[in-house]
A = this chain, B = another copy of it.
């Protein structure tokens, strides 16, 4: 029995495009003698379709394309493809999250997802009824347990003293294993997190070991707005060893011989977890590149401040889009240092990116003049700092509107967390590249880009961070050092520890309290940020929902 894993990059709602990718993969599988091809979860629609699933016409179209697929391919090959299915019962949610088994020109059997993740970025119980009826796929005298993503995640392996041992009261795999399958197949759509790659792999190797069964896991590749799916589909042998892993962050395809998988000695490198920062860079590049390609945008802009965030964002964007598709602006004010301008020019030149320099002082002065009747002789304060940031935002958006370059936001997670940024100013943009990357990791990304030669001028990496919105301003005037700050933030945001339990960090409790207060007070700013490429286990955005009006 030969089983193909087809790891594809789907575009949500692009039925023709998704179908044609799927058909191509089936042809390839068929031409190479595969018996069965496995695609990922909700492959016909792309994952996650979110509230498009509430539209009857959307689901009907999904179904039509599954039927169309069945009749467009070699009838002699089996196919497992994911899609939404109308719940035939009059009770319960309207849909199931299903895997359709196609063979001989029609849908032969349907397998439904039992465990519906409804936490973090997942909202599956919003749309789907959980399956309670377990059956096995019998095909060419082999018995296969067909599962969908979370069905294998019945035990939550995350580090969190708060969580239960089991998030669900049912256990689909136990029910399936009783029916004596020879392999576990998993159609998945499992997003990337730089802290979770080992944990994820352990889910599949753990199930293989526990049940002494091979596991075939097929993930989607590519990004969907803020979510980045890393691919990395797996073939695991019954000993729990990774025999084959498909590529990260791109489409890939392979055919696994089931008998070989059961008996094969694995390549010792196949299951190696890649470098954390390198994976994060690859994820972000994938996130930028798919956002642009799928939205049919080609070119981007951003403001180069001379600081490290805009430098790393530009390095990532250049790799994702190519230097010719970037046009950046240097927007110095009277408070900007000459070295900021010089460093920015050096960076743009290193990367081969077009830049223009537009000083903002005269617009700033005109704003102050216009506001004089209102402000009189009141002292300057954060108001004037924000005006400068908003002038920059307006100039960048003007370039974007005139030439079609999408503005990339350059805020990092540390400053987004504590509200160190100006709404409608430097918090503007179509996509936030670093909004889920703490400042300390931004430095590591800069080092990663310089690993062979100096792409990002050393000066940018070494100088103390500053917003340069008033004379001699430094981030450290109002914030603790970033290594301390990031420790507090990670404990509070990712691990959700209460302040009392952060004493282990060795940081004074007053500072912890101050930082937590800043995080809580700035929900209102984050409500209006652009979508943030998610690379951690808890990003700002759809996976973190907090009341804006609250006392906490």
Contact = CB atoms under 8 A, between A and B. Distances in A.
6 contacts: A52-B547, A54-B496, A92-B166, A363-B370, A381-B402, A424-B424
Nearest to A161: B56
A49 B92 contact: no
Interface residues of A, number: 97
Interface stretch (A11-19, A32-40, A188-196, A344-352): A11-19
Contacts of A118: 118, 123, 125-126
Given A371-B358, A394-B424, A169 B224 contact: no
A55 to B, nearest CB: 5
A74 to B, nearest CB: 27
A498 interface: yes
A168 interface: yes
A165 B90 contact: yes
Contacts of A547: 12-13, 48-50, 52, 224-225
Interface string A358-390: 111011001101110111001001110011001
A438 to B, nearest CB: 20
Nearest to A380: B402
Interface string A165-206: 111110000000000000000000000000000000000000
B164 A549 contact: no
Interface of A: 11-14, 17, 46, 48-52, 54-58, 87, 89-94, 118-119, 123, 125-126, 129, 162-169, 223-225, 290-291, 294-295, 356, 358-360, 362-363, 366-367, 369-371, 373-375, 378, 381-383, 386-387, 390-391, 393-395, 397-399, 401-402, 423-424, 428, 430, 496, 498, 500, 524, 527-531, 542, 544-552
A424 B422 CA distance: 11
B382 A356 contact: no
Contact of A119 (B92, B126, B381): B126
A131 to B, nearest CB: 12
A46 B162 contact: no
Contacts of A401: 381-383, 386
A165 to B, nearest CB: 5
Give 3 nearest A-B pairs by CB, closest first.
Answer: A57-B498, A13-B552, A14-B551
A550 B387 contact: no
A58 B546 CA distance: 13
Contact of A545 (B50, B125, B363, B549): B50
Nearest to A56: B162
Contacts of A14: 550-551
Given A92-B166, A291-B549, A381-B402, A397 B371 contact: no
A551 B14 CA distance: 5
Contacts of A496: 54-56
